């Protein structure tokens, strides 16, 4: 004998439930369907059509069963979603860049072509992003379904800083002092020198940097000083300020990469002194790569901070 639509619907629902709950749900569901069919029949709808409409109003049996079993149909429920999202953002901002930088450093030390370095770094970063998404989600999905409890009580200490209090005169003064020290150090090194070699003071920076490379550096410093003052006067980050911060960072990283990559940073006397104590060309190349990476990471961090400030101010 062919089962009716109601019988098929009830069976498809209760088979997803624990055995001890099936009989109660069966009786409740059959009674509910019978009432719905009777109500539609009183409206002049045929019994077959009333049964079909009643079942379609109840919806997918799998969704209905999840409600009876108190088992939400979500990969990560509301208990863990915000914690998952916060941890995921932290990992995405840290793991892929570090992995890409590590691969880039390794290939640069191996003197691979620039195209190979960029391509391999991008591939590794994409792979790291996929792994971070997958494994973080899997861990939280397991935690959610296992009924685990994580103490993540919210406190007022987690409130973000008010936009009007981000930065200010103190930051401007500190940045101005640092910029003045940089300019003073460069000029002192040119006039007097910071390294004492062979009984006399010698400049650490290469003489080939003067005048044009140093002029470019001073222009970047001047732009940064003006930016710091404007930023302090505004009090909050704006899209325009974030764009300027990004442009200054790109220019400075380009300047540093060009100078270091061409071997123009250190004076020949300083390089010879390093070689005299056993620091060979390979070690110098590795140190140069690490210095460029450190400068780039610092610049990226400043740019990220600027755009996060724009988002908070908005």
**CA 231, chain centre distance (Å):** 24
pTM beyond cutoff 0.85:
no
Q: How many CB atoms lie within 10 A of CB 213?
A: 18
What pLDDT band is residue 147 in, cutting at 50, 70 and 90?
low
226-246 burial, b for 16+ CB within 10 Å, e for fewer?
ebbeebbeeebbbeebbebbb
Contacts of 262 (CB under 8 A, 6+ apart): none
Cβ-contact 139, 150 below 8 angstroms: no
Q: What is the mean pLDDT of residues 26-44?
A: 84
Q: What is the pLDDT of residues 92-106, one digit of tens each?
A: 888 888 888 888 777
Higher-confidence residue: 256 or 98?
A: 256
At residue 264, φ and ψ (nearest 5 deg) are -100, 0
> Residue 296, Cα to own-chain centre: how many angstroms?
16
List, as one string, the DSSP characters of 119-143: HHHHHHHHHHHHHHHHHHHHHHHHH
């Amino acid at each position: 004998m062919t089962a009716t639509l109601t019988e098929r619907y009830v069976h498809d629902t209760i088979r997803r439930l624990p055995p001890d709950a099936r009989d109660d749900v069966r009786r409740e569901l059959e009674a509910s369907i019978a009432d719905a069919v009777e109500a539609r029949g009183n409206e002049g709808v045929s019994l077959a059509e009333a049964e079909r409409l009643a079942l379609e109003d109840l919806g997918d049996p799998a969704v209905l069963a999840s409600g009876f079993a108190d088992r939400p149909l979500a990969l990560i429920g509301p208990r863990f979603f915000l914690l998952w999202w916060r941890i995921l953002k932290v990992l995405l901002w840290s793991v892929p860049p570090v992995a890409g930088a590590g691969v880039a450093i390794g290939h640069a030390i191996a003197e691979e072509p620039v195209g190979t370095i960029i391509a391999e770094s991008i591939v590794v970063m994409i792979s790291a992003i996929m792994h971070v998404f997958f494994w973080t989600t899997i861990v939280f999905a397991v935690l959610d379904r296992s009924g685990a409890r994580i103490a993540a009580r919210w406190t007022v200490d987690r409130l973000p800083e008010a936009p009007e209090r981000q930065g200010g005169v103190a930051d401007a003064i500190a940045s101005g002092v640092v910029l003045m020290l940089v300019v003073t150090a460069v000029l002192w090194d040119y006039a007097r020198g910071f390294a004492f070699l062979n009984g006399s003071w010698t400049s650490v920076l290469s003489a080939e940097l003067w005048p044009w490379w140093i002029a470019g550096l001073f222009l970047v410093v001047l732009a940064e000083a003006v930016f710091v003052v404007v930023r302090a006067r505004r009090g909050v980050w704006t899209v325009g300020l974030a764009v300027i911060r990004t442009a200054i960072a790109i220019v400075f990283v380009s300047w540093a990469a060009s100078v270091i990559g061409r071997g123009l940073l250190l004076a020949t006397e300083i390089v010879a002194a390093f070689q005299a104590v056993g620091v060979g060309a390979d070690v110098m190349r590795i140190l140069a790569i690490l210095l460029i990476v450190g400068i780039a990471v610092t610049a990226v961090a400043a740019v990220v901070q600027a755009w996060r400030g724009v988002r908070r101010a908005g």
